[in-house]
């Protein structure tokens, strides 16, 4: 079983490397830390390189006995990225984070239950969280999380895209879904701390 470790922009360890021979270089995590548990027991993972630059996998062997339920828990910490975002007719800078879910579609059958908690450090957002669905401008043909159809945002605004409307619990957004098969459109993208 593998957990994706994808670097984008400044957090892509392969960004400045030559493409020729890249597959022979050691993999580099984009996470500050990564831990994994199977049925409550912490397990060791190995970091391997994908066939795409900036894409890695934390892998482990997991047994799935017939007619059983296996609980997998993965916890990681990553640095926050950022960039220029468009707010209707003006521009702003903001922080951004993302989470890949669509790789779970390769599993046989549906995912029984998934819960993704995104916890913001104190100081990242000073006001209570106010999640707003990422509504794109009608002129945009794709979503990169930077083109928002919003006139303005307050200090607690968290613009999101994901598999379900998130619940707010303190400084945490919780995306929960049951009996489903994720698609690329379900990947989580969060933009916040507009400046």
Domain count, the chain: 2
Domain that holds residue 127: 80-195
Domain endpoint, select from 78, 102, 137: 78
Same domain, 39 and 90: no
Read off the pTM.
0.81
Same domain, 109 and 194: yes
Cα 78 from Cα 33, distance rounded (Å): 7
Same domain, 145 and 70: no
**pLDDT band, residue 34 (cuts 50/70/90):** very high
Task: Give the CA count within 13 Å in the CB-facing half-sphere of 147.
Answer: 9
Domain endpoint, select from 19, 44, 78: 78
pLDDT digits (tens, 9 = 90+) for 159-181: 898 999 999 999 999 999 999 99
Q: 49, 136, 38: which is closest to 85 by C-alpha?
A: 136
Same domain, 66 and 84: no
């Amino acid at each position: 079983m593998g957990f994706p470790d994808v670097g984008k922009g400044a957090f892509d360890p392969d960004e400045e490397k030559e493409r020729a021979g890249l597959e022979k270089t050691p993999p580099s995590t984009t996470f500050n830390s990564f831990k994994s548990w199977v049925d409550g027991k912490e397990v060791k993972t190995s970091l391997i390189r994908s066939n795409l630059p900036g894409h890695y996998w934390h892998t482990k062997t997991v047994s799935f006995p017939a007619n059983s339920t296996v609980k997998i828990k993965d916890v990681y910490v990553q640095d926050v990225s950022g960039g220029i975002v468009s707010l209707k007719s003006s521009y702003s800078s903001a922080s951004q984070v993302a989470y890949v879910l669509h790789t779970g579609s390769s599993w046989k059958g549906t995912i029984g239950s998934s819960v993704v908690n995104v916890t913001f450090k104190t100081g990242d957002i000073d006001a209570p969280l106010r999640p707003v669905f990422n509504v794109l401008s009608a002129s945009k043909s794709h979503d990169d999380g930077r083109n928002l159809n919003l006139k303005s945002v307050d200090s607690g605004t968290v613009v999101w895209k994901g598999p379900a409307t998130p619940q707010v619990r303190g400084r945490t957004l919780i995306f929960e879904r049951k009996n489903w098969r994720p698609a690329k459109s379900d990947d989580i993208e969060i933009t916040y701390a507009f400046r």
